[in-house]
Amino acid sequence: MKRTPYVPAAAAAALLLAGPAAAQAAAGPAGAAVRSAPAAAHPAAARADVDAAAAAAAALKKYPGYVESLDQDGTVWHVNVVGKNGKSNSEVLVSSSGAASRANQDNDQDAGEYKTLIAAKVAAAKAMKAALAAHPGKVVSLDWDDQNDNGVADHWSVQIKPAKGATRDVGIDATTGKVVPADSGNDSGDDGDNG
């Protein structure tokens, strides 16, 4: 009796696109059953969506210092990290799998420019956590702000996308971790005071 190798529909489609040589290689010896590759070998299965907190942690692991800002562009997070000495500034890219790579670095910074960020009692991770506690959703961006906007000095501006509704800006005091008036200059136009 002749056996026919079993090929799952997804594998068959892949083999069809790859051509006859790939189909023959995948079939193996005559009569051998073809098994699909483990899930980790498939890029779609290996992808893990990284949230803002995980992106910040991955960036700091790659380049220790202080997160100054982060935002997501498609599946890639752009995390701006100020070095521990305040004299360097790096843009770290974090992929959807959590892999971090340095995009560029400037080692000629004025350390005084970042002294309030470095001295802040509430770091980026704690600011995101406080913003999400006040307004559940997903953090889509975070920015350090020491420009005394809205009469509030040294705060974080956190942009949150709730499960339903418009993106909102949430201000977090850099000393107390409490919600303060948000910077109205962010993209969403929502001042964070409603709902």
Task: Return phi, psi of residue 50, to 5°.
Answer: -95, 130
- What's the pLDDT score for residue 111? 74
For the cut 80, the answer to whether the pLDDT of residue 25 exceeds it is no
Residues above pLDDT 70, as percent of the chain: 66
Contact 57, 125 (CB under 8 A): yes
**Distance, CA of 63 to CA of 144 (rounded, Å):** 18
35, pLDDT greater than 70: no
Q: What is the pLDDT of residues 112-123, one digit of tens each?
A: 889 999 999 999
Q: Of 60-69, 77-86, 180-189, which range is least confident? A: 180-189
In the chain, pLDDT over 90 holds for what percent of residues?
Answer: 51
Instruction: Count the neighbouring beta carbons within 10 Å of the beta carbon of residue 88.
Output: 18
DSSP class per residue in 150-186: GG--SEEEEEEE-SSS--EEEEEETTT--EEPPPTTS
pLDDT(105) > 90 = no
pLDDT (0 to 100) of residue 85: 86
Residue 21 pLDDT greater than 60, yes or no:
no
The yes-or-no verdict on residue 48 having pLDDT over 60 is no
Which H helix or E strand runs over 20?
A: helix 20-27
Question: pLDDT of 72-102, one tens digit each?
Answer: 999 999 999 999 988 889 999 999 999 999 8
Q: What is the pLDDT of residue 150?
A: 57
pLDDT for 109 equals: 77
The one-letter amino acid code at 21 reads A
Q: Where are the domains of the chain?
A: 9-45, 52-180
Q: Are 131 and 182 in contact (CB under 8 A)?
A: no
Handedness of CA 94, 97, 98, 101 (dihedral sign): negative
> Residue 192 — very low, low, confident or very high, per pLDDT cuts 50/70/90?
very low
Q: What is the pLDDT of residue 54?
A: 96
pLDDT 10s digits, 139-176: 999 999 987 655 567 899 999 999 999 999 999 999 99
